[in-house]
Structure 1
């Protein structure tokens, strides 16, 4: 079972403190706090209709709860205790294979979780091939059009959290092709879509490509207002955190952790080259 994560919509907070890699917000009584709980979901290898809380690779010794049990417990707590008016709860399901999507959506609908007051359901998947992979790497395990079709037909009011797969190799940053792909996939969608982007990779993306992504998902116009946001996740060096604090506060969600010394060095290296005028440099 995944550890709970806390995510904030930055416009509504006046103070924040960092605790165990999560951004926790505080403020006056009129501040709306946004919290989230994330579940990594894949289908049980022996029971095709049983989604379990597990991150690949599947390990039976580490799976102690099914998604159905988790949603039922969460639903009981919400119905019993309620959610304060100034609190917003995001339940985010991170799908690791496409086989888990349909039975998971059936579970959510059975409990009407998305209809609860102050509760949002986010459906996340890595639908496109991202940075850090060999050129001949296999395709993502969650095909984009199948995932989007399943989600929008079963839960038309849900939020789609869409992003790329990420390998451990270099170079850092998203390419123009990656940006064009994600924009093309999401361009015609009518519901709320949040781009799930690695904070470090987005920072390392060449400036022109990064600006294209920010225009589409963060700097909204009349046609996209309320329907496009940005969610930054993963390790975030000091310079990356300083950068994303300048992003639009009403369209940016943050779910980041401390970074290694290598990531800190990489961020300073990229910043140095940009200071010298090389805005499209990539760290190889």
Structure 2
């Protein structure tokens, strides 16, 4: 259990009460930086200060005063490692991205957050029969150079990336779109436990928060942020993978793409990225030569 001071406890509590609504939490922090006064706000003050409806203000006040929630957060802190944006161990490079996370729940080897270099790997949930082979050809030499793979533990390319790292005793980080108590997809339950035991799983959602559709685009910004670049293996032109690409570009990260057949739908996204300026990847050196000598977050 990581040491957490009183101000961080209050941020953890607020983070849970507000359902990880970072915009709302930042509004509260602007008015109460120490997070002490807002506990005394009445319903009318919540409505006025945050432009909330009376129903929503009443709901948040109920959660704020719910003793079960406070006790639940204590149990989470005993079982998992938790970092807030104020924690000394919170990675500085995550503070620099647009819309940085305020809280991170960690399950596994926390030291991997400081590893370098890392490569984010993303792609379709429905990979072609060639995906595993092409990933092995490109990524295995990088794993031998101690590159860590970051992905989202989703079906398809994500799972293949994590599995490739685990099978070769290499390092990997999974970033989830929900809490640790709701493993998604369920078929990755064994993978989840292997990752937690040998590597690291990260989520900005409390452990009992079940995955929601809008959580996944949110978590994609963390996948791209944890790597010096993002490799797209296979993807459709319109897909969640492209959200990760957009966020990587917004963060000033490299974007790599593996080319594919024009007859394969899951190659269309990669081929389009290459046409638009992403670096074409045919072998591991295409990525290795782009690794910055000095980490961008140093």
TM-score for the superposition, normalised by structure 2: 0.25
> Greater helix percent: which structure?
2
TM-score for the superposition, normalised by structure 1: 0.26
> Greater strand percent: which structure?
1
